[in-house]
Amino acid sequence: MIAVPLQIGHRGAAGLAPENTLAALRAAARAGAEMVEFDVRLSADGRPVLFHDDDLARTSNGSGPVDAHTRAALSMLDAGSWFGPAFAGEPIPTLEQALGLCLDLGLAVDIELKPSVGQEAETARIALTIAAALWPADRPPPLVTSFSPEALAMAREIVPSWPRGLLVGAIPPDWRERTQALDCTVLVADQAKLDRSLIGAIGAAGMGLLVYTLNDRERMRMLWREGIAAICTDYPSSS
């Protein structure tokens, strides 16, 4: 019997519904996910919203940088039609809306801080102040992840007891120093660039190793056997 690691729904469940929308969070829960990941960045008026790209064009009917639009303007956009007509009118959620829904659905959360260049610390400060105010103390705290060391350093100040994960592409040779400098207990690596010979050393150092984004069930099973703690997937399931 192979131990089943945690599956984390990527951008909610990006294979099942438009990424980073409330519909994607609901789809993840319906599919049996225990945990979801989503991307957070700031609107022009400093409101944290769920959106992956810097630019609106790929996953909404808007155009131009997300951070050039106010929250009110973003809320008028359709972030669902591009995925399919069943999702027409699906809005860009605020962080508050997303966290509220995850609480209702019983989903654990991985908040990826995806700041615009120059807004790394501010994005973390605003987003995590809001998250801390509404996340109940009796629920496991969200995992906070980011490629940005500045965002993670601010996370350590705002929510020091919440776990932090450093996002990387390939695992860098200095992974130990880089995670220790930010008191990260999780390393989040690109599965396509994964050096599997490092899995044991990372586990032995007491770090959780999470990989993104993996949809191939065979490779999932192989990495589970080799000790990967959690896998970010567009198609989360309960098995």
Residues that bind Ca ion (CB under 5 A): 39, 112
Does residue number 162 form part of the binding site for ligand G3P (CB under 6 A)? no
Residue list 94-113, contact with ligand G3P (CB under 6 A): 112
188 binds, among ligand G3P, Ca ion, none (CB under 5 to 8 A by kind): ligand G3P
Q: 164-203: which residues touch ligand G3P (CB under 6 A)?
A: 167, 188
Residue 169 Cβ vs ligand G3P, minimum distance, rounded to whole Å: 9
51 makes contact with ligand G3P (CB under 6 A): no
| β-strand partners of 39 | 112
120-134 vs 149-158: helix crossing angle, rounded to 10: 30
Q: Taking CB within 5 to 8 Å according to partner kind, which of Ca ion, ligand G3P, none is near residue 33? A: none
Should residue 150 be labelled a site residue for ligand G3P when binding is judged by CB under 6 A?
Answer: no
Using rule CB under 6 A, residue 37 touches ligand G3P: yes
Q: How far is the CB of 213 from ligand G3P (least distance, A)?
A: 6
- Nearest residue to Ca ion on Cβ basis: 112
> Burial letters for 6-45: b for 16+ Cβ neighbours within 10 Å, e otherwise?
bbbbbbbbbbbbbbbbbbbbbbbbebebbbbbbbbbbbee
The nearest distance, CB 233 to Ca ion, in angstroms, is: 12
The C-alpha atoms of residue 69 and residue 51 are separated, in whole angstroms, by 13
Query: Active-site positions?
Result: 10, 52
Minimum Å gap between C-beta 52 and ligand G3P is: 6
Nearer to ligand G3P, 41 or 69 (CB): 41
Beta carbon nearer to ligand G3P, 50 or 128: 50
Q: Rule CB under 6 A: say whether 10 interacts with ligand G3P.
A: yes
Which residues are at the interface with ligand G3P (CB under 6 A)? 10, 37, 39, 52, 112, 167, 188, 212-213, 232
